[in-house]
Amino acid sequence: MTDKTGKYIVGIYPGTFDPITKGHLHLIKRASKLVDHLIIAVADSNKKGPLFSIEERVAMVEADVSTMYERYCDIEVRSFNNLLVHFARDLNASCIIRGLRATSDFEFEFQLTGMNARLDPNIETVFLMASDKWQFVSSSFVKEIFSLGGDVAEVVTPAVEARLKAKYGRP
């Protein structure tokens, strides 16, 4: 797949992925239809106080992506700790793919997109609406539910659930 000019399209799907969910994987599958090469960019951001280290999060994303049976382009996983638009520019990405679950996501994403456009007007932002099956899923909810003894098996892969159990010391 190339754009109208014949250019190879690189897209970036950024997030903290703390942890990665089935909702993220669904968006990754859909995003892989839009680009030739998709980079899952795991943010090394301590601002959000992640439960998992950057190395653990990258490993979880790599493991889950490697088992995806439906993907339509090459997918790689990388961590980053600089401005997203700088990361995108360094990798010759022409678009940033963001997922939207609700109107509250839109307000934040709208502001972020405006700022990113000022920083680099050559990088487009593409929004993908979460499917109704995954609209309610967030990494924050997963961590909270699991930490309080709830079952998250329907919204994360078995590998991620195993990592949560190990992190919380559960059998």
Give the CATH number of the domain where residue 109 resides.
3.40.50.620
Q: What is the pLDDT of residue 4?
A: 62
Per-residue pLDDT at 38 exceeds 90: yes
Whether 46 is in a domain gets the answer yes
Structurally, the chain folds into a number of domains equal to 1
Whether 58 is in a domain gets the answer yes
Whether 146 is in a domain gets the answer no
Q: Per residue in 25-47, is it b (16+ CB within 10 Å) or e — as a string?
A: bbbbbbbbebbbbbbbbbbbeee
Structural domain range at position 123: 10-135
The Cα diameter of the chain in Å comes to: 54
Whether 148 is in a domain gets the answer no
Number of other CB atoms surrounding residue 16 within 10 Å: 20
Whether 164 is in a domain gets the answer no
Pick 6 or 11 by higher pLDDT.
11
**Span 143-163, average pLDDT:** 97
Q: How far apart are CA 43 and CA 61, in angstroms?
A: 12
Whether 2 is in a domain gets the answer no
Identify which of 20, 15, 18 has the alpha carbon closest to the alpha carbon of residue 51: 18
Model-level pTM greater than 0.95? no
Q: Which residues are catalytic?
A: 24, 48, 101, 139
Q: Give pLDDT tens digits for 79-124.
A: 999 999 999 999 999 999 999 987 777 888 889 999 999 999 999 9
